[in-house]
Amino acid sequence: MNHAAVQLRSVTRSYAGKSGAVTALDAVSLDIPRGSFTAVMGPSGSGKSTLLQCTAGLDRPTAGQVFLGDTELTGLSERRLTLLRRSRIGFVFQAFNLLPALTAEQNVALPLRLAGRRPKRADVLGVLDRVGLGGRAGHRPGELSGGQQQRVALARALVTRPDVLFGDEPTGALDSTTGREVLTLLRTMADDGQTVIMVTHDPVAASYADRVLFLADGRVRDELHAPVAEEIAARMTRMGAVPC
Ligand SMILES: Nc1ncnc2c1ncn2[C@@H]1O[C@H](COP(=O)(O)OP(=O)(O)O)[C@@H](O)[C@H]1O
Ligand SMILES: [Mg+2]
C-alpha cells in the first residue's frame, strides 16, 4: 500500500496560448502524507489552482503522474475519473457553491445521490453536526451566514468520506473570525486523520497547516514545517510575492 495520500511525479501542465505556451506547473514532484494538512501559497499566477485541480482529478497534466493512494489518476478514463472524484475527493471553494433552493441537509446529501448511494439521514445529520450545524439542517443557504454556508459546503465535501479534502481559498470570502472557525474545523479534521490540502494567500490561515508549500512560476520553491504566521509572511515577502 502506498503510504502517501497523494503523490505527484514530474507533473507538468502547460497551456497553448496565442503568444506561446504557458507552463502553469513545471515538473512538480510531491508526496502528501496521509492525515496531513498542507497549505499551498504563492503569488498570483504561480500555479496554485492548477496544482490543486490536477491533484484532485479536475484537470489533466500535460505530462507526469498523479497518484491518489495506489490509484494513478493520470491513467484513468474520463468516466473512471468522474466516479473517483465523486467518491474519493472532496472540494470546497471560495464561493460556497451551494444550491440555493435546497436545505443544508439536501445540499449535503447531494454528493451521495450523485454517487448513486441512498443517503442515510443519520449520516447526513452526523456530518452537519461535526461542522456545528446540527440545528440548521432545514435551513436554506439564504437563511445562513457566510461562515455557516461554508460549513455546509465542508459537510457536503466530507459526506462521502473522501481520501483527500481540497480547498481553494476556502476562507477567502469570510471575515477573519468566521474564517478562523472554518480553519479550526479543518485542523480538527486533519487531527482526526483527514488529509487536507488548501490553497490560501493568508499567512494566518496557512499557519493552521502542518506544512506550507511555496510555489513560484509553477515550481515548489520552498517549504515550511510546523509554520508560524510571521515566518510564513516573511518567507512570502522574501520571495517577492504579492500575496494573492
Ligand atoms: N485555462 C487556462 N488557459 C490558459 N492559461 C491558464 C489557464 N489556467 C491557468 N492558466 C495560466 O497558468 C498559470 C497558473 O495559473 P493558476 O494555477 O490559476 O495560478 P494561481 O492559482 O496561483 O493564481 C497562470 O499563468 C495562468 O494564466
Ligand atoms: Mg488560483
Distance between start and end Cα atoms, the chain: 37
Q: 66 — phi, psi (to 5°)?
A: -120, 130
Residue 26 lies in a domain: no
193-221: pLDDT as tens digits: 999 999 999 999 999 999 999 999 999 99
CB 187 within 8 A of CB 13: no
Report which of 79, 86, 84, 128 is spatially closest to residue 107, judged by C-alpha positions: 128
Q: 120, exposed or middle or buried, with CB in 10 Å at 0-12, 13-18, 19+?
A: exposed
80-108: pLDDT as tens digits: 999 999 999 999 999 999 999 999 999 99
CA dist 193 and 182 (Å) reads: 17
Report which of 107, 216, 203, 209 is spatially closest to residue 159, judged by C-alpha positions: 107
Distance of CA 176 to the CA centre of its chain: 19
- Helix 104-114 / helix 121-130 crossing angle, nearest 10 deg: 120
Residue 132 lies in a domain: yes
Residue 71 lies in a domain: no
What's the angle, vertex CA 151, arms to CA 136 and CA 123, rounded to 5? Answer: 65
Range of the domain at 196: 34-53+82-238
* Ligand 1 atom closest to the CA of 46, numbered from 1: 22
Q: Which residues pair with 9 in a beta bridge?
A: 65
> How far is the CA of 156 from the CAs of 65, 124, 201, in angstroms?
28, 9, 24
| CB-ligand 1 contact for 24 (6 Å cutoff) | yes
What is the number of residues in the chain? 244
Residue 219 lies in a domain: yes
Residue 5 lies in a domain: no
Residue 119 above 70 pLDDT?
yes
Ligand positioned closest to the Cα atom of 45 = 1
Q: What is the pLDDT of residue 105?
A: 97
Cα of 51 from ligand 2 centre, angstroms: 9
| CB-ligand 1 contact for 119 (6 Å cutoff) | no
Query: In which band, very low, low, confident or very high, does the pLDDT at 240 lie, cut at 50, 70 and 90?
Result: confident
* Ligand 1 atom closest to the CA of 199, numbered from 1: 21
> How far is the CA of 194 from the CAs of 91, 162, 217, in angstroms?
13, 8, 29
CB 149 within 8 A of CB 73: no
| CB-ligand 1 contact for 167 (6 Å cutoff) | no
If you average pLDDT over residues 155-174, what whole number do you get? Answer: 94
Residue 241 above 60 pLDDT?
no
Residue 24 lies in a domain: no
CA dist 18 and 116 (Å) reads: 42
148-163: pLDDT as tens digits: 999 999 999 999 999 9
Residue 194 lies in a domain: yes
Contacts of 115 (CB under 8 A, 6+ apart): 83, 86, 87, 160
CA dist 185 and 161 (Å) reads: 15
Considering its fold, how many domains does the chain have in total?
1
Question: Bigger pLDDT: 71 or 3?
Answer: 71
CATH number at residue 197: 3.40.50.300
Q: What is the pLDDT of residue 242?
A: 52
The pick from 49, 168, 198 for probing ligand 1's pocket by mutation, whose C-beta has the most ligand atoms within 8 angstroms, reads 49
Residue 29 lies in a domain: no
Cα of 47 from ligand 1 centre, angstroms: 6
Residue 127 above 90 pLDDT?
yes
Which region holds residue 76: left if phi is over 0, alpha if psi is between -120 and 50, else beta? Answer: beta
| CB-ligand 1 contact for 50 (6 Å cutoff) | yes
Query: In which band, very low, low, confident or very high, does the pLDDT at 1 lie, cut at 50, 70 and 90?
Result: low
